[in-house]
Structure formats: C-alpha cells, structure tokens
Structure 1
Amino acid sequence: MAPKVYYSPLMRVPAESDADAQTKISNLGQPLPTPQSVKDVSPNVCLSLVEFKDLLRQFRALDDGITLRMNRSSARSRDTGTSAPPSLLQHHDGRFSSATAMDLGKSTYASYSESVCAGFWRELVDVWMRREDTIRYCVAVNQAALASAPSFSNNPDDRLDLDRASAPLPAQSPSRAESQAEFTERQLRNELAIESIIRRRSLEVFKSRCRAFTPSWNDSVEGQRERTYWEGK
C-alpha cells in the first residue's frame, strides 16, 4: 500500500508591506533631472526593464552627439586653416613659407583651443555623472521593491514539503514575481559595467582630439569622480 502524501505549503518569509516599500522609495529622494532629449526618470520607469533600457538608449545617444560635434569641429578647424603645422618642418626648411604652412596644417593637422576642449570635457562629465546617478537610483528603487516581494524560506524541511506536494504552485506565484524583480535588479547592475565601456569609448575620441588638454579637479566627491572618468575607470 502506497504511503499517504500530505501537502503542506512552502513557508513564506514575512515581507515588507507595499507601503513600507513606497516609503523606502520616497526616502531615496528625487532623481537628477534628465536632459531635454531624454525621458524623465521615475520609480515606474526604473521598475520596467523595457522603459529603463529605452531611457538609457536616449541617454547614451548624447555621447554620440558630443563626439560627432567634436569631429565636425575638427573638420572645420582644418578647412579654416586654424590647425598648427609641425614646428619641426618650419625650423628646418628655409623654403617653408606661411602659405605652405597653412596648406599643410589644413590638410593634415587639427587642434582645439583649451577653452573648446574644456567645454567638450565638461559636457561629457555632466552626461556621465547624471547617467550613472540615474542607474544607481534605479538600482536602489528595485532593491526597495524587491524587499516587499514575498519570499520563501530556505529551510530544507520546507523545501522537502514542496517536493512532496501533490499539487503544483499556481502559475502566478510570489516566487516567480520575486525572480523577475531579482532579474531586473541584476540587469540594472550590469548597466553600470556597460557604462564604463561606453565612457572609455567616448574618452578615447576626446583624447585623440584634445591631446594637450588635461582637466583639473578638486578633492570633492564630484572631483574624484571626474578623475576616475579621466583615468578610464
């Protein structure tokens, strides 16, 4: 005679109420305002992976816009003859006239002034900081939401009860909801790693255009972040 099997539901670990989660999200404060071409960030956007990725797509397009303007500015510099010809040729070739120097500069060299480079650098740093802060804000929002999701005990006896269950858990079980929340949070954290890659790509373009430029920063938190960006981290 087969032994009787009794079903006992998996023990749930008490979760925070939705009100507690909303309070935690409210305590995070308001996120930094996004640029005009980027949608506003909100807790709802943070909790939707599709909307969040669309926001990041718009945000990251700003890097492309800045580097494109740098390339166009470089082309205009060559066309208008504001480039600097190589001094080595000027000093060692007596036939080198101002006209030929201008032609050489226009065809092969382009340089930005200190102020132009400083302006482009400030634009990049502002975008990078606001974008990174937006991602970190959304990570915190998802952590607060995850804390309110019901979870199950890790007690082996409780898991054994589930294995002996005569009926499966409903399709829309809390465990599935929790898995989705964890997945969203993990994806958001991955975006921080992607950020460093995107910054390095834009940084390479900037340094190739402004070889003689070195930014200055202070010892503030923002200054140290700027230094980290400059070092490609």
Structure 2
Amino acid sequence: MSKPTATPSQLTPQFCFNTRVVRDFLRLSRASIDDTISTNLNALLTPSTTSPFDPASTSIRNPSLPSSLTKAPIPHETSKAFISSVLFPSWQSRSSVIAYCTAVATSPDPEDPDLIEREVQNKKDADRVVDERLDPYSARFFPREARTEQLAALLRNENAVESIIRSRTWGIVTDRCEGVGGKWQDALDKWREGEK
C-alpha cells in the first residue's frame, strides 16, 4: 500500500487537457499517501523483518495497534527512510505533473479544436448588448474560455490544494517522527538536492 506514486510514463498535452485524468491522478496520489498518513506512520511502528526500513513492510496494515503505539515517536532512521522513499517521491511525482501541465497551459495551443468556432462566436457576441437582469440566460453570450485557460484555472486550484495537504501531512509527520522538523518546503528542497 505505501508505495510512492509514480509519475505517469507519458506526460503529453493530451494528458493535461483531459482534466478528469489529471484530477484523478492527483486525488488518488493524495489518498494513498497524504490522506492515510497516520495509518502509514502507525505501520512504521510494526516491527519490520528487515533493517533498515523497507517500504514493503507497510503494505499490510495493523488497525488493532495498541493506543500506546499510535502516540509513540517513530525512530529517526525509520521515519527518514519513509519520508525519503515514499512521501517525498509521491510529492515530487505530483509536482512534476502539475509543473508539466502548467507549462502546457501557458503555451500556445495550435491544436485547440474549438479555436475558430470560439473566435467567430466571440466576434458576434462582442457586438451584442446583454443585460443579465433582463435575460437570465445571457451567460450563453459570454466568451468561452480556451482549454488552456480552463487548464490553468484547474492547476491554480490544485496547487492551492497541494500546499494545504502538504502542510497538514508535514504537521502530522513532525509530531510523530523523531528528528523531523522545520518547513516542508525546506525539507523537500533538501531532499531534491540529494536526489540530483
């Protein structure tokens, strides 16, 4: 269960423009690591048959841990291994997808299937005078967004969600793990430098 989320093998503009797939990838990644962080950390307290930490040791969860173990601090080496082999790679995977799709959203989109139709409609609608109070259906005359604009809006929201989730997750990790502290941004940047 506690395996880092892998970046999709084929990051293409088509992947990004399928916003449902992008949202599902981010949602599933968050659900498997961040939303279950307490359970993942509790699994670290279960004695492993190998030393040092092996991510596979958390694939079987023990929900009936005594309450004394759920508050016990997790040893530094175990938590460090979990953070560097599961948590940060998952975060990096999501960051890579968001960064790639942000680049796609800020680039010109010559393959936009609705470009010509939207431009013609926008020219017609620009001459029309619309009073929203008198015509409740007037929204049909407002210019439609390009798919790059829709993608950019989605990614702004996902960036905000990502920041909130990482802060919450890091707060739980720093509470439970020995020798882990500071800001998650600093810890992630330090891990990224070590990965290069």
* TM-score > 0.5 by shorter chain: yes
Greater Rg over alpha carbons, structure: 1
- Structure 2 gap ranges (5+): 48-66, 130-140
* CA distance 1:147–1:224, shift in 2 (3 Å): farther
> Could you tell me how far apart the structure 2 residues matched to 1:188 and 1:51 are?
13
* CA distance 1:223–1:161, shift in 2 (3 Å): closer
Matching residue of 1:59:
29
Matching residue of 1:71:
42
**What's the secondary structure of 1:202's corresponding residue?**
helix
1:181 aligns to 2:148 (yes or no): yes
Residue 39 of structure 1 contacts residue 55 of structure 1 at CA under 8 Å; is this kept in 2?
Answer: no
> Could you tell me how far apart the structure 1 residues matched to 2:192 and 2:28 are?
23
**What's the secondary structure of 2:6's corresponding residue?**
coil
Amino acid at match of 2:99: R
4+ aligned runs moved over 6 Å, structure 1? 158-161
Size of the aligned set, in residue pairs, is 146
| Pairwise CA distance, 1:70 | 0.8
> Could you tell me how far apart the structure 2 residues matched to 1:110 and 1:161 are?
65
Query: What's the CA shift string for 1:33-77, capped at 9, x where partnerless?
Result: x618x7854321200111111111122123235542212334x47
- Structure-2-length-normalised TM-score: 0.57
Residue 11 of structure 2 contacts residue 97 of structure 2 at CA under 8 Å; is this kept in 1?
Answer: yes
- Structure-1-length-normalised TM-score: 0.49
Matching residue of 1:203:
170
Residue 43 of structure 1 contacts residue 141 of structure 1 at CA under 8 Å; is this kept in 2?
Answer: yes
Matching residue of 2:64:
none
Identity %: 28
| Pairwise CA distance, 1:214 | 4.7
| Pairwise CA distance, 1:199 | 0.4
| Pairwise CA distance, 1:147 | 6.6
How large is the Cα RMSD of the aligned pairs? 4.0
Amino acid at match of 2:128: D
Query: What's the CA shift string for 1:90-144, capped at 9, x where partnerless?
Result: xxxxxxxxxxxxxxx9578522222101012212122112211211111111222
